[in-house]
Chain A
């Protein structure tokens, strides 16, 4: 059974074509991440799924039912917003129960679901507080709790971590992963952060300019990118792209991941170091090969200084080749 099916979904705002022929499936219990640079249409796609925007054309199915004309509250979805969007005049309990009251659920059911959700999210002590009395992390947990109590067929997360600081972001990321395991629910998660995408997703959908670039598991996309955009977007530091004629002849582009470059006295890439980042476990070397910036991620600690001349090598089976249009050559 599929939790969500999109068939040829298009969305235009006036003359601006934001979503172009999006077709994808989300399986029951799957965690799908939409990732892409800002302005790629990922948030719009989420809004179309939620029913906050109407699709210009195409079909949206949630849990086997076509929902193009169904209002957001009846689609069996719950959404967590980037800005939390808590109701300021209601306390935590009020925020979590509002939707259930609108659905006219019996009191006992509401009580039970709030108790369960607040236990899961450690919110039991805060139920009578107002949003203004909570910290950022707590607010985000309330927003997630508000989604959980509805027991939706599909969870939608719109960049839920981008307002949190780095440490909290990592904790909340793990919490969301645990939540997904505990609830076994289908989730769609929008982010521009590729680390979040790689760590959380069962399946990643890479979007660019309103088009799906590639769909697959994180490792599939990492090991087997369909084109130069996906290759460059996933992985941190991102993949190095060098023109083929640097190494021989040709008009194609060669892509090498920073971790696949290693130091070798007779390597083909002569480089001058412009910056070194020593992270302890790793050393990131940013160097110039002629006019092209190249990043190498070397394991361990290395005594490399700025301005030093180095030679890099890579094994041929780790190099990706892309044609001038950016398509992968195999």
Chain B
């Protein structure tokens, strides 16, 4: 190790900066969590105080459980997020592989066309999307959301993944061809495991906006049985009165699954398995 890195002053400064950043990032989550366990009065009197015997209350969680079918909302959000991520990764990776591996006429144009979606916000097309969903009878189904989110996530996925797929060794793919693997097997067994870190990145990028989205659930699937968690929590926020206990409790519970998904994907960022393939 080089000396500069061992310098205690530098190490302290580096860790100090990282710890500070962690605190800033975690502070809102922390405030939400502690306040979700407090009475309404305690929330407003001392927002930053920890719940104690006097102020402790589960009233928020009770309201959330009573009002509406919270577990259904939860399940809807989960289905929409996981299915959208699955399709984004599957189709994104396949398109990226085609663009990076095969030479065909219009290869470059196709790549640019697919990347164009990154620059155009999908919400501009909301009216058209709604008309389309009405025409196909998909309004108030989870499919409406899954399809829209998949379309929204694909451009960036194709863009990032094709860059990574270009770096996968040609020799490895050729070795597979000589050993008689089909192009599908080469894609699924050789290439996908090697771009797993990139796939995890794409998944993390897409997951949080989808989970948190209010716009499309409100427009495309506002029915009781297709409400997502974010939309479901909105019942507690009114124009004049907001049930803060319930809102904070709902948010606390909503953080959990994203956290779990994030842990799953971030573990994939570890590249151990890829070393040793070439060189």
Contacts and interface: CB of A to CB of B under 8 A. Distances in A.
Nearest to B275: A132
Interface string A56-97: 000000000000000111100111011111111100000000
A111 to B, nearest CB: 18
Contacts of B181: 73, 98, 102
A83 B179 CA distance: 16
B180 A81 contact: no
A39 B110 CA distance: 31
A172 to B, nearest CB: 15
A188 B69 CA distance: 70
Interface stretch (B5-13, B140-148, B186-194): B186-194
Interface of B is mostly: helix
B277 interface: yes
B179 A88 contact: no
Contacts of B172: 83, 85, 87
Interface string A296-317: 0000000000000000000000
B236 to A, nearest CB: 48
A72 to B, nearest CB: 5
Given A89-B189, A89-B193, A89-B273, A84 B177 contact: no
Contact of B277 (A47, A72, A102, A131): A131
A83 B174 CA distance: 11
A206 B203 CA distance: 51
Choose among B175, B181, B273, B279 the residue with the greatest number of A CB atoms under 10 Å from its CB: B175
Interface in A125-164: 130-134, 136, 139, 146, 158, 163
A197 interface: no
Contacts of A89: 189, 193, 273
Interface in B16-73: none
B190 A72 contact: no
A83 B180 contact: no
A103 interface: yes
B178 A88 contact: no
Contacts of A77: 178
Contacts, number: 86
A240 B102 CA distance: 46
B180 A103 contact: yes
Contact of B177 (A73, A83, A103, A134): A73
B234 interface: no
A50 B178 contact: yes
Nearest to B179: A99
Contact of A83 (B169, B178, B194): B169
A219 interface: no
Given A52-B174, A132-B272, A85 B179 contact: no
A88 B180 CA distance: 17
B107 interface: no
A139 B174 contact: no
A87 B177 contact: no
A102 B180 contact: yes
A73 B178 contact: yes
Given A88-B277, A89-B193, A102 B272 contact: no
Given A88-B193, A89-B193, A102-B179, A132 B276 contact: yes
A89 B277 CA distance: 9
A30 B225 CA distance: 74
Contact of A99 (B180, B194, B277, B278): B180
5 contacts: A83-B172, A89-B189, A103-B180, A132-B273, A158-B171
Interface of A: 47, 50-52, 71-74, 77-79, 81-89, 98-99, 102-103, 130-134, 136, 139, 146, 158, 163
Counting from the closest, the 3 A-B pairs by CB-CB distance are A132-B276, A73-B180, A99-B179
Interface of B: 169, 171-172, 174-181, 189-190, 193-194, 272-279
Given A52-B178, A102-B181, 16 more contacts: A47-B174, A51-B177, A73-B177, A79-B175, A79-B178, A81-B174, A84-B278, A85-B169, A85-B172, A85-B175, A86-B175, A87-B277, A88-B193, A89-B273, A132-B273, A132-B276
